[in-house]
Structure 1
Amino acid sequence: MKIKNSIYIILISLVFASCIPNKDLVYLQHTEKSNRENEVNEVVSKPYRVQTNDILTVSIKALDQKLVDMFNPSTSQNQNQNQISQQNLYFSGYSVDDHGNIRIPVLGDLNVLGYTVDEIRQTIEKKLLDEYFNYEARLYVTVKLAGLRYTINGEITRPGTNVLYQDKATIMEAIANSGDITLTGNRKKVQVIRKYPQGYETYTIDLTKDTAIESPYFYLQPNDYIYIKPLKQKSWGTGTTGVQTITTIITALSLITTTILLTRNL
């Protein structure tokens, strides 16, 4: 009788230990630090400052477009702007070299390292007005990053390198764009490796708590590397849900029982 009770206790312990609790799967759960569930949180994201190997798109327009065509990159006139791919942006955009410069037709080298895209736009406008045009030309300059490029690996549905074509994006959007974290992915210890001029910095963010939105790593930056660690339940191999665990244990016990019976009959 004691042996049976011990077996039952072991089985129940295995079921509870191997199952993934709901609190480990839900994103941005309410914590004690938050006063109200519907409170408005201040955005802590700072303007991104351009680094080497970034790709910028620069568009210059004027009342007479022919006057500024020479400043724009040589792209196909028939190409639809909505159909520009990442490959086209690599060839037609302005890549920031190791010295932090981009090379614009006629204007030549322009240092952009450490500047925001708005500061770069103002610099280009000023340079054009001072050296080539006057105010009546009605210049309109647009400077953008050629998408937010990131790489995500580990316990994610679709690992790999992706690009989000928007000015700002969160790590939650990057994860959703990659098919979400798998059941065996550790949402409490998501690693973000971020590139800086002086090197790389690694940070761990807990996406199960709503305080994650206060982290500066909650907002994506170009060339971020995101790694989703696996939970211990994956290495145990007993299943991620109660049904899977019970099925695995029953299968194992059936195999053991069959082996014992066959051994006795020999």
Structure 2
Amino acid sequence: MRSLIGLLIVILVLMVSSCIPTRKITYLQESDSVKNDSLITIQKVQPPYRLQINDILSIQIKAPYDPQLVSMFNVSANSNGNASIQQAGGLYFSGYTIDQHGDIRVPQLGKIKALGLTLEELRELIEKRLLSEYFKENADLFVTVRLGGLRYVMAGEVSGKGEQTIYRDQVSIVEAIANGGGVPITGDLTNVRIVRQYPDGVKVHHLDLTQLEVIYSPYYYIQPNDMIVVDPLPQKSLGTGTTGLASFTTIISVVTTLVTTVLFFTRL
């Protein structure tokens, strides 16, 4: 009788330890300090992004009083030059890839050093050269420089592994993960890693996506070329099941096999 009670206790302990708690698979849970439906101020102002190698840029130049001169600089979608053509929502636009030397090649202007600059700094640089070499001050010149999509990589315990692209300027890590297919129930949301490139190397940042307070993190919004890594929960490596029913079925199968084996040998 005592052996049976002990066996039942062991089974219950294994079931409890092998189940995945809901709090580990739920995004952005409210803490006790945050009331339901309360307004939470999000700090959206992020440090300006510094351009990196392999970034793709969309550069558009407009001057309503000199359209013929403008056509010399704007690369068409059918160009076979240095522009990398991307598709976004059925629309095509031409982009300039930052090469291994940190340069882009703009028609007529030639090579321009873009590595390490912000989008605004590069825009000002291109506009300054255009005004000094081609356009007059009263040409009403208008230059826009934007990233050709926010590219990132998802790895680990995620549904969609590999490179992903979102055609927006600002994307949160939750949106990025959802765009890539999400995280299965066996993924650990409490310790999601962002591997980010910096001029002096690579740094790893850790985020707990189960807590609503993660929105205050300076790494809540991803940057181009980020790698999002999600580790599996211990339950996956144990192979005991992800739900209570699955764990119960697995444990019952193991116990039944053990009991059958013991009875077989005791009767020999």
Q: What secondary structure is seen at the aligned counterpart in 1 of 2:129?
A: helix
In the other structure, the counterpart of 1:182 is: 184
Q: Distance in 2 between matches of 1:40 and 1:27?
A: 18
Greater shift, 255-264 or 151-160, is seen at: 255-264
User: Is 1:164 paired with 2:166?
Assistant: yes
Structure 1 residues 128-207: aligned runs within 5 Å:
128-207=130-209
Cα distance, 1:168 vs structure 2: 0.9
Per-residue deviation, residues 85-111 of structure 1 (Å, max 9, x unmatched):
38xxxx952222344322211112222
Cα distance, 1:28 vs structure 2: 1.4
In the other structure, the counterpart of 2:20 is: 20
Q: Distance in 1 between matches of 2:164 and 2:30?
A: 30
Q: Is contact 2:86-2:94 (8 Å) kept?
A: no
Q: Distance in 1 between matches of 2:87 and 2:261?
A: 60
Cα distance, 1:140 vs structure 2: 2.5
In the other structure, the counterpart of 1:256 is: 258
- The residue identity in structure 1 corresponding to 2:186 is T
In the other structure, the counterpart of 1:50 is: 51
Per-residue deviation, residues 139-182 of structure 1 (Å, max 9, x unmatched):
22221111111111111111111111111111111100111111
Q: Is contact 2:187-2:230 (8 Å) kept?
A: yes
In the alignment, structure 2 segments of 5+ residues that lack a partner are 80-84
When the two structures are aligned, how many residues end up with a matched partner?
A: 258
Q: What secondary structure is seen at the aligned counterpart in 1 of 2:196?
A: strand
In the other structure, the counterpart of 2:77 is: 75
Structure 1 residues 230-241: aligned runs within 5 Å:
230-241=232-243
In the other structure, the counterpart of 2:224 is: 222
Q: TM-score, normalised by structure 2?
A: 0.87
In the other structure, the counterpart of 2:31 is: 31
Q: TM-score, normalised by structure 1?
A: 0.87
Q: 1:33 to 1:111 in 2, by over 3 A?
A: farther
Cα distance, 1:122 vs structure 2: 2.3
Cα distance, 1:260 vs structure 2: 4.2
Q: Distance in 2 between matches of 1:38 and 1:7?
A: 51
Q: Is contact 1:100-1:112 (8 Å) kept?
A: yes
Q: CA RMSD in A?
A: 2.4
Q: Distance in 1 between matches of 2:125 and 2:52?
A: 17
- The residue identity in structure 2 corresponding to 1:31 is S
